[in-house]
Amino acid sequence: MKLFLRIFLSFWLATILMVVALFTVSDRFSFLTSEDRRMRFDPDLASESLSKAINTYEQRGATAFLAELDVPITIRHSTLLLVDQNGSAIVKAGRISPSDMDMAKDALDSGRSELIRFGLRTAFACPIQSASGHRYATVMSITGHRIRASNPRVWFDLAVAMLSTSLVCLALSFYLTRPITRLRETAQRLAAGDLSARATPPRMNRRDELGDLARDFDVMAAQIQLLMSAQRRFVADVSHELGAPLTRMHLALALLRRRFAGQTVGEVERLERETDKLSNLVQQLLLLAGLEAGSWPAETLTAVSLDSLCGDIVEDAAFEATHAGIQVAGTRQPVTLMVYPGLLRRAIDNVLRNAIRYSAAGAEVNLDLMVDSTAQEVSVQICDHGPGVPESMLSDIFRPFFRTAPGRESKSGGTGLGLAIASEAVRLHDGNIMAHNLPEGGLQVIITLPLRTPAREDDLRHTIAAPDIPA
């Protein structure tokens, strides 16, 4: 059944269920309305009480007339009008409307008592003849907004109606939102990189619009997974196939160097530089392909002093920074974590060298290491004073070969893989990496890692074979 019909029929079911519930509860639990039965309006009893009260009026006046009608066992009313045989109002209690005068005059003319209902109000118009023979007419409101609001039965009926409709609406809401929530969770998992996520449970047999949407979404997810797997396999295969020719090229260059020993041959030097660049690119592609495929590094989780590791990285990058006229500074809090040393070192080094590469001469690059014991996190923050990145591209710089401008990476000497490798390396440490532009200019990259100390992570020590990390 289509979703439109389900919603339509559900509202019809809620209405029918509300009516059935009201009638059923009224019949089965009538003892709850004993007060209503005691105060139920009886026209004959009201006429008798009014006749006695009108005799009291003729003897003792309007105050005695109203006092007798206010006895609880007599008549329950919110407004009351008494007119004489000339149609003149002689007693008024409550807020009297022009329609009350009209009803009183009609009762005098017709000589019949009558219950009149309009809106939420019910009025009783009754002609009366006193013992002295004078004719009168009364109009009293026996139900109205205030009387209904003070009646427990009204609230009880309303509660029964709301309960019955709430149950149907709750079931309908759950039926509609459950697949939408599952679809949203699946989309989030896909965005996070879990290409195996699917929205349709194994035994799902819904045939409505939401079921069709979930199945179409899964077909799309399967196609994306197939395309991404094919792309990664292609990159890994090409990179692997390039390894052997590059090795032979290095051997051939070594032989050329030996043949021209003691001579400076510009062409050979140029070939060596380009071959080294190509070898570095192939090594990074192999590493990235392994990390994206979920391969763990061929090293053991080790207790590492992260502040010492960052110090070594800064020292290694100092030559490149000094040559560019850049100073690397920052503060580092002492902390020891369980990490893959080579992989994490490469991640931080890639980000730091990227910051140095895009900073202007004379600028300063900061590498700060901070520990947040409350959040149980360690953050490595690397800030440069370069041109920054357009806001719309901040999340894209961690994609392989992404360039904020055509030719930017090639001009700077980069391959476009450093930040992508850093992102995958941080992910394998269950961490997070993000970038944002600084208000004063420049880019800040923050690497956040869980605070896993050796004492807490003894059960996580393991080694899983995977491709070696290129130096």
- Give me the active site residues, please: 240
Pick from 50, 110, 103, 37: nearest CA to 77:
50
| φ, ψ of residue 120 in degrees (nearest 5) | -90, 5
CA-based Rg of the chain, rounded to a whole angstrom? 44
Q: How far apart are CA 162 and CA 83, in angstroms?
A: 43
Q: How far apart are CA 225 and CA 382, in angstroms?
A: 33
Helix axes 152-191, 209-259, angle to 10 degrees: 20
DSSP for residue 264: -
Q: Which residues pair with 140 in a beta bridge?
A: 80, 124
Structure tokens at 317: 């990058």
Beta strands (DSSP E) in 270-326 are 302-305
| φ, ψ of residue 460 in degrees (nearest 5) | -95, 0
Segments in 91-151 forming alpha helices (H) = 98-110, 145-149
Structure tokens at 51: 């006749």
Amino acid at position 201, single letter: P
Structure tokens at 297: 């590094």
Segments in 119-265 forming alpha helices (H) = 145-149, 152-191, 209-259
Structure tokens at 367: 């590498």
Q: How far apart are CA 102 and CA 80, in angstroms?
A: 14
Amino acid at position 250, single letter: H
Q: How far is CA 152 from CA 28, 65, 102, 105, 233, in A?
A: 17, 29, 32, 34, 74
Q: How far is CA 198 from CA 182, 210, 304, 360, in A?
A: 9, 14, 38, 47
Q: Is 151 within 8 Å of 33 (Cβ atoms)?
A: no
Place of tokens 């994306």: 224
Q: Is 120 within 8 Å of 145 (Cβ atoms)?
A: yes
Q: E strand or H helix at 357, and its extent?
A: helix 341-357
